Amino acid sequence: MSSPTGHPDCCGGGDDHDPLGCPLCGQRGHGVPPETVDAFVPEAHREESGSFWFCDTPECAVAFYPPGCGAPVFVSELPVPTGVKAPFSDTAPLCHCFGITRGEVVARAASDHPASAEVAERMKSEGCACAIKNPTGQCCLGDVRAVEGAQTGQKSGTVQ
């Protein structure tokens, strides 16, 4: 194990470990607002660190981690399943505000009224509460569009 330079080596990542990277997959996630931390990070973790980042890697088991070092919050500890961290689940919600599942997004991706259109419309009329309903703390629309894009891209590139 190499000696740490400025960053304690407690994560086991060595000198080139990104202090803002996920302790498990190493990818840099994104910071979440305090209300998201309050809503989804178990209290025991909150006593250790005031701020948390969300790991965006779908297949990584880490949901939240404190920047630098500290114990991550695993997906299994989240109070709700979330589609962004469950790439093989059809039933995990992708849009938490309006309860739209990954399966629904996939099924409607190539239709006249894809889920992203519904989310965009309902955001305008009903508003959304992604910061406290979506573990990522971000607007679900980006996640919905990403799944739709992957879906339609796959379809057009595959000869059936």
Residues that bind Zn ion in the complex, under the rule CB under 5 A: 22, 24-25, 55, 57, 60, 62
Closest approach of Cβ 56 to Zn ion, in Å? 8
For Zn ion, the closer CB: 84 or 109? 84
Which H helix or E strand runs over 157? helix 140-157
Residue 125: what residue type? S
> What is the C-alpha to C-alpha distance for residues 126 and 43, in angstroms, rounded to an integer?
30
Burial category of 57 from C-beta neighbours within 10 Å (exposed 0-12, middle 13-18, buried 19 and up): middle
Find the shortest distance in angstroms from Cβ 55 to Zn ion. 3
User: Can you tell me whether residue 95 is helix, strand or coil?
Assistant: strand
CB nearer to Zn ion: give 20 or 139.
Answer: 20
Q: C-beta of 111: minimal distance to Zn ion in Å? A: 32
Contact (Cβ atoms closer than 8 angstroms) between residue 32 and residue 6: no
Nearer to Zn ion, 49 or 57 (CB): 57
Q: Which is nearer to Zn ion, 62 or 95 (CB)?
A: 62
State both tokens at 11: 């994560």
Using the minimum distance from each CB to Zn ion, give the nearer residue, 55 or 140: 55
User: Cα–chain-centroid distance for residue 40?
Assistant: 12
Q: Is the dihedral of CA 103, 107, 109, 113 positive or negative?
A: negative
